Amino acid sequence: MMTFIKKYKEAIASALFLAAALIVEHGVSFVGQPYVYLPLYGLSYIVVGGPVWMKAFKSIKGGTIFSEFFLMGIATVGAFAIGEYAEGVAVMLFYMVGEYAQDGAVNRAKQSIKSLIDQQPDTATVERNGTTESVHPSEIEPGEIIQVKPGEKVPLDGELLTEKGSFNTAALTGESKPMSRESGEEVWAGSINQDRPVRIKVTSGYEDTKLSNILTMVQEASKRKAPTQRFMTRFASIYTPIVVWLAVALTFVPYFVVENYVFQDWFYRALIFLVVSCPCGLVISIPLGYFGGIGAASRNGILLKGSDFLDQLRKMKTLFMDKTGTMTEGSFEVRYIHPVNGYSQEELLRLAASLEQDSTHPIAKAILNRTNGQQLHPVENQQEISGKGLKGTINGKTVIVGNRDLLGQEGISISSTDVDDPYTYVHVAEDGIHVGTISIADQIKEDSKQAIEALRKHGVNEIVMLSGDNQEVVDHISRKLELDHAYGSLLPDEKYRHVEQALSPSKTVGFIGDGVNDAPVITLADIGIAMGGIGSDATVETADVVIQTDQPSKIPLAIEIANFTHRIVWQNIGFALGIKVLVMVLATFGMATMWEAIFADVGVALIAIGNAIRIQNKYSDKGFSLKAKKPSASQSEGQPNACCEI
C-alpha cells in the first residue's frame, strides 16, 4: 500500500485536494467560502500541473512553442480565468493518470528486455591456481575455465568441456525446449544449467556475450523510429500551431459574425478546442505500439534492430534465402550405405572411416559419427588428392575414398546404386575394385516447409534460394520446399548480384542467411535477416533482424507481429483523430463541455494505450516447438568438398 501511495503520490494528493475543494464549494455554505476552496483548487492544480508547465518551458527553450504541454497549460489557465476550476484541474489530473498508464505499458513492453538483464549472473565460479573462487563475470578473461552447478545460470559464453549438458535457453531464444550440448560445443551466457555440474572454457568477455549483444540490439531498436512514427512527429509539428490559431479564431471571429456575442462563451469553446487538440494519444500510443511489437518479437527469439524494420517486414514481397544452416540443418549425416562385390555395410563403413579419421571435413565427420566409435584400421602411406578424396594402404591393400573423378583417374569403374535423390556420394575402392558407395545428405529443417507455406500466406510471393552448393542438390531442396527459383554453385559476389538486380523502389526485398559470406548480401537487401544461433558475428552484426532460434518458421511469425503492430498503430491513429475531430466540431457549436474534451484527450490516450498492450498479450507465448539443430562452426556452405560428388 505504501509503495502504491509513494508511486502515485502527485495524483493522489491532487485528487484529495480536488475532492476537498468540490465539497467546500458545493457541499457547504458559509461566509468567505471562496477563500477556502480557491486555494484548494490551486494546490490541486499545482501538484499535477507544475510538472506539465516545466515540460512546456523546456520545450519552448528548445525551440518548440506549440507542444502538447503548452496547449494543456494555456487551456487550463484559461479554464481558471473563467471560473471553471474543477475542469482545469481535471485536465491536468487525468493527463497525469494517462502518463502513469503509459509508463506502466512501456514497463510491460520492457519486461522481455528486463528478463534478459536478469539473466546476467552477478557471480561466477572460476578455476584458478588449483582451486575455485567466486568473482564477478567481468573479472574473467577468455580462456579461463568456469564451473556451473545445476540450476545456476551460465555467466559467460564458452565451450563445454564436460562430456554433455542440458541448458534452458528460453530467455535467449523464446524456446522452452532444453538445448542439449556435447563437449566442444558452444554454451551461451544466460542459459540455465539443468542436469549436472559442468565445466566451460570461456570464449567471450563479459561485454561480448550473446546475451549482452541481444540487450544492446533490443535497447537500440526502441530508439529507431518507424516511418509512421516519423510521419506523426512531422504531422504534430504542423497540426499543433494550426489548432492554436484556430482556437484564437474561434474566440474572436464570432464577434464579427454572430449576434449577442459573449466573450466568455466563445473563450470556453476555444479552451475545449485546445484541450481536445492535444496530440497526447497519438504521441503516446504510436511509439508504444511499435515498442510492443519489438518486445513481443524479442520474447519469441526474434530481435529487431529498429521499429522501422517492422514496417519493412510487413512490406516484404521477395525473399532470397541461403540453403545450408538456413533452410537445412547444416549438419551432414550418412543416409545410405551401399556395399557391392560381396562387402558388408560394416566393412565398407570401416574402410571409409579409417581413411577419414584424421580429417576435419564435415563429410568425414558424418562418416566417423556413423561408426559409433568402433575400432578403425591403421593407415599407411595416406595422401590427399585435392578436391577429389583420399588414398592410403590398409592391411597391405590400396584403399581409395573419394568422388567419381578420383576413381575414374585410377581406372576404377563404379557400380550403379538405387538412389535417385541427389545426395553427396563418397565412393570406396579396394585394390582397384569398387566396393561400395556411402550417401551423405544435409537435412531440411523440420519447420522449413511450414515456414515457406506461411510466408506465402503473408504475401511473400517470390521466394528464391541462393546457394554455394551444387545445382542438383539446390534444385532437389527447392522442389521439396516448393520455391519459385533456386540457383546453385554461387560465389558470394554472385549472390550479391542476384539480390542487387532484384532491388527496386516498387518492392521490398529480403535476404536471410547465416555464413560470413552472407554478410554483404544481408547489408545490401532492404531487410536483412540472420540466423543468430549459428550465424557468424559479421552476419549478425549487419542484419536488421536476427532469428535467435535458427528456425525459418520465425520469419513468418515476425511478419505476423509486424502486420498486427501496423493494424494496432493505425487503429489508434484513426480512433484518436476521429474522436478529436468530432469533439472539436461539437465544441465549435457549443455542444461539448470540458469533460468531453478530457475524454477526447486523456480518455482516448488511455484506450489507445490499452489497444497497444494487445500486441504484447497476443504474442506473449508464440514459440514453436520445433528446434533446428546447431551445426559446428566449421560446417559452412560452399566449403570445398575433398571427397564427394553429386
Give the active site residues.
Answer: 322
The CB density around residue 223, as the number of other CB atoms within 10 Å, is 9
Residue type, 112: S
Q: Length of the chain, please?
A: 646
The strand ranges marked E within 141-206 are 145-148, 158-160, 164-168, 179-182, 186-187, 192-193, 198-202
d(CA 634, CA 298): 28
Q: Are 162 and 196 in contact (CB under 8 A)?
A: yes
Q: Which residue has the cell 561408426?
A: 371
Backbone phi, psi, residue 194, to 5°: -105, -35
60 Rama sector, left if φ>0, alpha if ψ -120 to 50, beta otherwise: alpha
409, three cell numbers: 583417374
Helices 604-618 and 554-588, interaxial angle, to 10°? 170
Residue 71: partners with Cβ closer than 8 Å, 6 or more residues away: 240, 243, 244, 274, 275, 277, 278
CA 372 remoteness from chain centre: 39
CA distance 258 to 280: 33
Look up residue 115 and give its amino acid.
Answer: S
Q: How far apart are CA 404 and CA 412, in angstroms?
A: 9
Q: Give the cell for residue 379.
A: 593407415
Cell readout for 331 is: 549438419
